[in-house]
Structure 1
């Protein structure tokens, strides 16, 4: 089994940021939430207070101004071409996508690509509220083993060193930078 991060790994960009901008163009009232988002950003990234999950919940409040199901479908109709060619060429039936992005956002594109295994942040598509914590860093490993008790990852691909815990449990790992893929040297090898 191979496992992949999603954003900037098999998707050319950040799907959450792209979806936010897509929704902002469709639903102008989202801009009214900008002051709250700026405060949350400063609190977490500047003053180092709170959790990433708390910050993201504040960010996802924009969903209250959207019709998520309809907007997500339209978003992927427009953006499915941003799935990287390397992934399309090597895709296997037992691939796992493991991402901090919300499950409701990634599930439709995974279905379209024939990806059966998606592990992502559980975010309510109407309120932006999390069930659990952001699927990031060590949480990805915990969630992987929750889903696949004795799972073994042959190859893991990510753009981010924050995914080192996933790389360390994989037989081989690769860093993705744009369209360049290099072997990821971890403490285990």
Structure 2
């Protein structure tokens, strides 16, 4: 039976290796094409574990973790995620940042992605944040590895109330077929919460 649990930072800590494995598996797909490894992932997730007001949604099928989604205040994210907002003169303290949403393919299309967004938004509201943001890799339409018939998540994100912004950042990772990590551009999407 599939269950969805919401977890604070302390409750989420035991799930970090599961989250790292999911990130490696799901982000290997287009458009990330991520050639991940556990040591990098565990270091990356340390930001989440250090954040005072981080939040996690975990999806369990029995005891197996099949999906997860995270969030934390933008003030507690890494400098490369914060920098575009600083440069644009936007107050970091206004934004709650949605981290990854990763879900194994056989569990998609069942409303879990909507739950990820709804539960993180509810948590951000409970902390009084007026705005939400996340970033997603931006790939050109003509990229040679783009799968035929690929459906982007843009429409889904717009249905969740997010709009693309002009802000972007760069994160380096090793892509499938690359000899070493290289910077990839990610575009921010944002949503203003109604009082």
If the length of structure 1 is used for normalisation, what is the TM-score?
A: 0.25
Higher helix share: 1
Of Structure 1 and Structure 2, the greater strand share is in 2
When the two structures are superposed, what TM-score results if normalisation uses the length of structure 2?
Answer: 0.25
Q: Larger relative contact order (C-alpha < 8 A, sep ≥ 6)?
A: 1
